[in-house]
């Protein structure tokens, strides 16, 4: 396993890491014992970073991850969770207030069976009042950092320009890491254009969703995917081309997403132990550059096409 430094934090993180959203059964039903086995397997194979949120499965992911972490020594992994986005009884909610921030962290730590988290992210900042995040949310996180409740401060969201706006509003070195999803994958590598900015700010980069939320899979995007029909159709065409070449598009996607050394880690989400092993193995394989070029040619009309978060 290759490990890379996360910005100025000093954390050395595996280049592929575990996103625990699948533990919340957000994509399909899961088996609890197998999900726990997946977490243990990831650690055994060298993964040392796990990301979760109280929003995933409306606390289900944190609860199940907490069960898995009970038997894993705390020094074997770095852990991040989030504040700001929640859900109760199937209803989404958002609260970025300072009061909710500290309560949220305390609730998360109880569910996760830990007494601190390495990174606490402000979740999906595009749903927030960005001025509130600057003047209230981030200062609340910094107070918890001073108390030793968290190690580092992060922000997440889909639109990269929101990350950049916040970093420009805050003193340098305030935000330790950003978590960007669906912007460093085969169909959209726009995150690459902004790496110099984040390096200048000394902010580490975490990438997520190398399969572009299911677009880059042999089974195709789920019905709820917000991508345009043209993007979905061309991704399906690319997947068929890879299959005809005897090379799964999922493997190509993972290889691509971990290939940039300026991006510390790429989160993959699964509740299957065999699948996490497969992803780890793919991350260690060389890129099939010829096939990548062919796939990018297929996707050329929709490269960097994005969508709104929901």
Q: What pLDDT digit, counting tens, does each position of 230-257 carry? A: 999 999 999 999 999 999 999 999 999 9
Residue 309 counted as domain residue: no
- Predicted TM-score (pTM) of this structure: 0.95
Q: Is the pLDDT confidence value at 199 over 80?
A: yes
Catalytic pick among 55, 56, 86, 184: 56
pLDDT at 90: 80
pLDDT mean over 45-52: 98
pLDDT at 310: 82
Per-residue pLDDT of 213-232, as tens digits, reads 999 999 998 888 999 999 99
CA distances from 4 to 1, 90, 150, 178, 280 (A): 10, 38, 21, 15, 15
Q: What is the mean pLDDT of the chain?
A: 96
Residue 135 counted as domain residue: yes
CA angle at 102 for the pair 100 and 103, rounded to the nearest 5°: 60
User: Containing domain of residue 67, as a range?
Assistant: 3-302
The total of structural domains in the chain comes to 1
pLDDT at 309: 87
Distance separating alpha carbons of residues 79 and 10, to the nearest angstrom: 15
Other CB atoms within a 10 A radius of the CB of residue 164 amount to 16
Q: Is the pLDDT confidence value at 288 over 90?
A: yes
Distance separating alpha carbons of residues 15 and 264, to the nearest angstrom: 6
Which helix (DSSP H) or strand (DSSP E) does residue 132 occupy? helix 130-132
Residue 307 counted as domain residue: no
- Long-range Cβ contacts of 106-111 (<8 Å, 24+ apart): 107/54, 107/59, 108/54, 108/62, 108/81, 108/83, 109/149, 111/54, 111/59, 111/62, 111/63, 111/65, 111/66
Q: What is the CATH number of the domain that holds 298?
A: 3.20.20.100
pLDDT at 89: 81
Residues with Cβ within 8 Å of 264's Cβ and at least 6 positions away in sequence, in order, are 4, 5, 6, 7, 13, 15, 204, 205, 206
Distance separating alpha carbons of residues 32 and 29, to the nearest angstrom: 9
* Catalytic residue check, 56: yes
pLDDT at 29: 80
Q: Is the pLDDT confidence value at 27 over 80?
A: no
pLDDT at 96: 98
Q: What's the burial of 20, exposed, middle or buried (CB within 10 Å: 0-12/13-18/19+)?
A: buried
Please name which of 83, 128, 111, 153 lies closest in space to residue 24, comparing C-alpha atoms. Answer: 111
Residue 308 counted as domain residue: no
Residue 160 counted as domain residue: yes
- Alpha helices, DSSP H, located in 17-59: 32-44
Residue 239 counted as domain residue: yes
Per-residue pLDDT of 60-96, as tens digits, reads 999 999 999 999 999 999 999 999 999 988 899 999 9
């Amino acid at each position: 396993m290759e490990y890379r430094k996360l910005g100025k934090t000093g954390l050395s993180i595996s280049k592929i890491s575990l996103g625990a959203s699948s533990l919340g059964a957000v994509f399909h039903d899961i088996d609890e014992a197998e999900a726990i086995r997946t977490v243990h397997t990831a650690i055994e194979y060298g993964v040392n970073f796990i990301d979760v949120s109280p929003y995933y499965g409306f606390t289900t992911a944190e609860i199940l991850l907490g069960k898995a972490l009970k038997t894993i020594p705390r020094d074997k992994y770095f852990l991040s969770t989030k504040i700001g986005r929640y859900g109760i009884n199937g209803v989404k909610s958002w609260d970025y207030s300072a009061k909710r921030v500290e309560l949220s962290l305390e609730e998360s730590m109880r569910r996760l069976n830990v007494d601190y988290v390495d990174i606490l992210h402000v979740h999906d900042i595009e749903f927030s009042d960005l001025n509130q995040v600057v003047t209230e949310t981030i200062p609340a996180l910094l107070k918890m950092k001073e108390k030793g409740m968290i190690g580092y401060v992060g922000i997440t969201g889909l639109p990269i320009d929101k990350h950049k706006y916040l970093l420009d509003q805050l003193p340098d070195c305030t935000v330790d890491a950003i978590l960007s999803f669906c912007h460093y994958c085969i169909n959209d590598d726009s995150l690459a254009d902004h790496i110099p900015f984040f390096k200048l700010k000394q902010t580490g980069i975490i990438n997520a969703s190398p399969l572009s939320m299911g677009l880059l899979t042999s089974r195709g995007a789920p019905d709820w995917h917000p991508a345009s029909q043209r993007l979905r159709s061309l991704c399906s065409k690319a997947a068929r081309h890879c299959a005809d070449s005897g090379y799964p598009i999922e493997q190509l996607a993972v290889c691509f997403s971990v290939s940039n050394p300026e991006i510390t880690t790429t989160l993959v989400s699964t509740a299957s132990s065999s699948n996490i092993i497969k992803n780890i193995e793919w991350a260690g394989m060389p890129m099939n550059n010829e096939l990548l070029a062919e796939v990018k040619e297929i996707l050329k009309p929709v490269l960097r096409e994005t969508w709104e978060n929901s």
